[in-house]
Every structure is written in structure tokens, then in C-alpha cells.
């Protein structure tokens, strides 16, 4: 794809959505009034130059742009995209390709990315244009995400640093103030992560967005954050997780029919009762006492740590911290 600025890329996407969503030919003037980005043109001449470049761009990308007139009374050509030529035929995706498509669909569901495109469709309807919303190839839908997602995405696009409070290690973890130069946002294992340079730790870090507390404040001038060439954001997220070799084995007891997520992480080695309750003994690889304790503590009374003692103590500490937070909330 040709190298285009972020503003121009957004304008091209909005133009495609606009022309896909009408069965009628739209004049250049109607497109100027409808598609976000064209209203910024300082003059008619500047708009027509911009529009001609964008039409050429779409055709170079293989998008079937049609030219025609709504009736014999029209004096100027109009434009639309032939949906039957634009839509893909039936395709087969492997597992990784399907995951990439699912990620793109989730990203478009965020209001930050779908809002401008949705606004173009609203303008079309208000102008009396017949809008096809029968379920075409692109469907902008507004769906709420983590509250911090919007301001973080805006900071990434603007190239500005951000400050925010980040809760480490789960709902009862320590809250730490961070100042980060954001490089981008990626999704991994169903969660969104911010990747960037942490100024306080002078290192690259990733942050789960659901653990970033409001408000998120942009600091410094736009364009001050420079993303390194060739950086792999997803690899940075994966590197932030514990990959140390197993140092031992943890043994836990689970009641029958409970904690299915933990069962997928370990293996059942025996069937046994505990305090009169039927259940199973499970073995887990112990790579980190802290990480495994976080897994187990969330299951409350449905988990009993049999061994090692330090893991049992770590789980109890997390239960005590959770109880203290709950008590503070009550008062």
C-alpha cells in the first residue's frame, strides 16, 4: 500500500465506507459535505486536487470505483463503489489468519475507530441518500471497551507521552504511577495491551489496559514520541510474561466439577475427599510462586493448596489483601 499519512488513510477509509453505503452515484460536492476530512480543504481547487488524488489512490489499491449519473438531468458525474465487485468471494482461512481477522473486527468495534465512519453514514441519511445497511463487507459498530482505551489510542496517534495509574498483578495489586511513551496497542489472548517506553524504569514495558486507571493524561507536544523502526509490539507483550523453567510442582485440591480453568493448566493425579467434600488432587508446574498464587487466589474456597507451604502462604496473603480492600470500600 502506498505510504500515506494517518489523516489521509482515515479519509480514504471514510470515503470507501461512504461510497459502499449508497446505491446512488454521489457528486463530488456531496462527498465533500459528507466525508470527514474534505471540509478542511481551504478552497474548491484544493478540494478537487485532494479528491482526484484519493480517487487515484483507491483505483491503485484495486477498489472498483464507478463513475456515472443518477439521471439524464444531472450535469456532473457521481461516484460509488460496486458492492458486487468489491466483496470477496468464499475463502478459506487457517487458524492464524482467522485470528487476525477476528482481531481486526474487534478493533473496528471500538468507538474510537468507528466513530468517524459512523458519522459519515449519519450525514448520508440526513442528506436523503439511500444508505445500504443490509450487512455489507464493512460494518462499523460502536461497542464500549476499557475506559482507558480511547485516550491511549489518541495518544498513540498523536505521538504524545501519557501518565496514568497502573494496578499491578490484579484487582488487589499495588497501584503505581507511570509515565509512558506509547508505541502502540495490541491484543493478545483476548486482552488489550499498551506497549511503550516506561520513562520511570527506562525500559520497554507492556501494560494490560484493563488495569490502567482513569484518568489517562497526555503530556508533552504532539509528535514527540518516536516508535523504533521494526518494533514487534506483540513480541514485546509476550516477553513481559514469565517464561522461566519450572522450579518444582504444586499440588492442589479441587472440588468435583469446579475450577475447570485450573484443570486445563495441570493434570489430575488422584481422586480424594477433603473435609468431607469430593474432589481431585491436581499437579501444576511451579514456575513462579507469585503468578500461580494469583491464579489460585481468585478461586477462593474452591482451591486448597497442599504443597508447597510458601505457595499456600502466598495465596492466604492475597485473600487477606482482598478482604482489606473490601473492608475499606465498606467504610
Q: For residues 164-174, give the mean pLDDT.
A: 77
> Nearest 5°: phi and psi at 316?
-60, -40
Q: Residue 192: pLDDT above 90?
A: no
Q: For residues 38-55, give the mean pLDDT.
A: 87
Choose which CATH entry (2.30.30.520, 3.40.50.10860, 2.10.60.10, 3.40.640.10) describes domain 153-238.
Answer: 2.30.30.520
Q: Residue 133: pLDDT above 70?
A: no
Q: Residue 263: pLDDT above 70?
A: yes
Query: Cell triple for residue 257?
Result: 466439577
Which of 18-27, 198-207, 312-321 has the weakest average pLDDT? 18-27
pLDDT for 240: 66
**Any residues with CB less than 8 A from the CB of 22 and at least 6 apart, and which?**
80, 124, 129, 130, 131, 132
Q: Residue 85: pLDDT above 70?
A: no
pLDDT for 143: 40
Question: Domain 248-330 adopts which CATH fold?
Answer: Alpha-Beta Plaits (3.30.70)
pLDDT for 159: 93
Domains in the chain: boundaries: 6-126, 153-238, 248-330
Q: Residue 111: pLDDT above 70?
A: no
Amino acid at each position: 500500500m502506498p505510504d500515506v499519512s494517518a489523516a489521509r488513510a482515515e479519509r480514504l477509509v471514510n470515503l470507501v465506507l461512504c461510497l459502499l453505503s449508497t446505491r446512488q452515484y454521489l457528486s463530488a460536492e456531496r462527498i465533500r459535505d459528507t466525508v470527514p476530512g474534505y471540509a478542511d480543504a481551504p478552497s474548491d481547487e484544493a478540494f478537487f486536487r485532494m479528491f482526484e488524488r484519493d480517487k487515484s489512490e483507491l483505483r491503485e489499491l484495486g477498489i472498483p470505483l464507478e463513475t456515472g449519473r443518477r439521471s439524464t438531468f444531472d450535469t456532473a458525474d457521481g461516484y460509488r463503489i460496486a458492492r458486487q465487485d468489491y466483496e470477496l468471494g468464499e475463502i478459506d482461512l487457517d487458524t492464524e489468519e482467522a485470528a487476525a481477522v477476528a482481531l481486526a473486527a474487534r478493533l473496528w468495534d471500538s468507538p474510537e475507530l468507528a466513530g468517524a465512519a459512523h458519522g459519515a453514514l449519519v450525514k448520508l441519511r440526513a442528506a436523503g441518500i439511500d444508505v445500504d445497511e443490509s450487512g455489507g463487507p464493512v460494518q462499523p459498530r460502536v461497542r464500549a471497551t476499557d475506559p482507558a482505551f480511547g485516550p491511549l489510542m489518541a495518544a498513540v496517534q498523536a505521538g504524545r507521552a501519557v501518565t496514568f495509574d497502573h494496578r499491578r498483578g490484579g484487582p488487589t495489586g499495588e497501584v503505581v504511577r507511570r509515565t509512558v511513551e506509547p508505541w502502540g496497542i495490541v491484543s493478545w489472548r483476548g486482552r488489550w495491551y499498551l506497549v511503550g517506553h516506561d520513562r520511570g524504569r527506562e525500559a520497554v514495558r507492556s501494560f494490560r489496559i484493563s488495569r490502567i486507571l482513569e484518568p489517562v493524561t497526555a503530556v508533552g507536544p504532539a509528535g514527540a514520541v518516536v516508535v523504533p523502526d521494526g518494533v514487534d509490539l506483540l513480541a514485546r507483550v509476550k516477553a513481559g510474561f514469565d517464561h522461566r523453567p519450572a522450579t518444582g510442582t504444586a499440588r492442589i485440591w479441587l472440588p468435583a466439577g469446579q475450577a475447570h480453568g485450573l484443570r486445563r493448566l495441570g493434570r489430575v493425579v488422584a481422586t480424594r475427599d477433603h473435609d468431607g467434600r469430593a474432589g481431585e488432587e491436581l499437579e501444576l508446574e511451579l514456575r513462579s510462586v507469585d503468578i500461580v498464587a494469583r491464579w489460585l487466589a481468585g478461586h477462593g474456597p474452591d482451591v486448597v493448596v497442599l504443597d508447597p507451604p510458601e505457595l499456600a502462604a502466598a495465596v492466604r496473603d492475597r485473600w487477606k489483601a482482598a478482604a482489606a480492600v473490601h473492608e475499606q470500600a465498606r467504610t
